[in-house]
Amino acid sequence: MSNDRRTFLKQIAGIGACAACSGSAAAQTAEADPAADSLGVLLDTTLCVGCRKCEAACNEINEDLPRSAPETFSDESVFNRRRRMDYGSYTIVNRYAGPDDPGRPVYAKFQCMHCLQPACVSACIVGALSRQPNGAVIYDAWKCIGCRYCMVACPFQVPAYEYRNTLTPKVRKCVFCFEKRLVQGGAPACVQACPMQVMTFGRRTELIRLAKEKLEKHPDRYVPHVYGELEVGGTAWMYLSGVSFQKIDLPALGYHPVPGYTEPVQHMLFKWFLPPMGLYALLGGVMWFVESRRGRRKPGSEQGGADDSH
């Protein structure tokens, strides 16, 4: 562990409650309207053919991921099981049986949804996760203390953890190609690599308009809903589908943002200083117990030493 990281952890230990409060505050620093002027992607699953070129492009641009040979992404045996994002993959494509013709399967790509009001950001007590004004939810490994609250909080089960890395484990997730593409106005690598134009990149408001135009023009092709427009307060990545969203593993969620359920409880606890009080009480109890046992043992130990001398 580096000296800088040790220093950071010492600061966290020293200011306990303040660090936790700042984590909650980080979730509230987003603009009043988190959807205003933010970017997004509209994904039309009816166009996806399962070529996995998006996976290859993601692996290539994210140099911190384990390297995979190009032929890896031509292996269709991966479709024999349901996959999810892990420490080595920020995005994956799954195959599902077609509703009418088993010979015409349905494919769906998954990655971080980049929620407008992210539960992972709200849950992170040190601000390692943050939502940027352009819509990307990014991760700062230096700040991360490995609590993994983000993994528990995410309604889409996106963040993954490097359990195999015992020295410097990190939380892994798609960051919307934030530094390499998004800040320069470019589309994410997976979007650009798709030969079927499954994904459309742009302003979220325009993507919603485009999605509703498609629904109106082709009512027989799509389920009449834009997934992600309203789910958990809205997401940057949104979906159109010809089959039920639950059949392609997109969970049925309410429209209320997840932080709206958890933050009132967090704020109440920190308002009354309960976490640090509990911590100090626990430490004080341990110290009292240790000192008490030490005091009881001392006379006996001295007597035992005298007996041994005889």
Residue-averaged pLDDT of the chain: 84
Can you read off the two tokens belonging to residue 210?
């485009």
Q: How far apart are CA 135 and CA 39, in angstroms?
A: 6
pLDDT one-digit tens code per residue, 135-155:
999 999 999 999 999 999 999
Number of Cβ atoms within 10 Å of the Cβ of 52:
23
| DSSP state for residue 66 in the 8-state scheme | P
Classify 3-259 by CATH class: alpha beta
DSSP symbol at 171: E
Nearest residue to 230 via CA among 204, 263, 256:
256
What is the share, in percent, of the chain residues with pLDDT greater than 70? 74
Which comes out higher in pLDDT, residue 180 or 9?
180
Residue 303's pLDDT band, with cuts at 50, 70 and 90, is very low
Mean of the pLDDT values across residues 77-87?
95
Domain residue spans of the chain: 3-259, 273-309
Q: CB–CB of 237/191 below 8 Å?
A: no
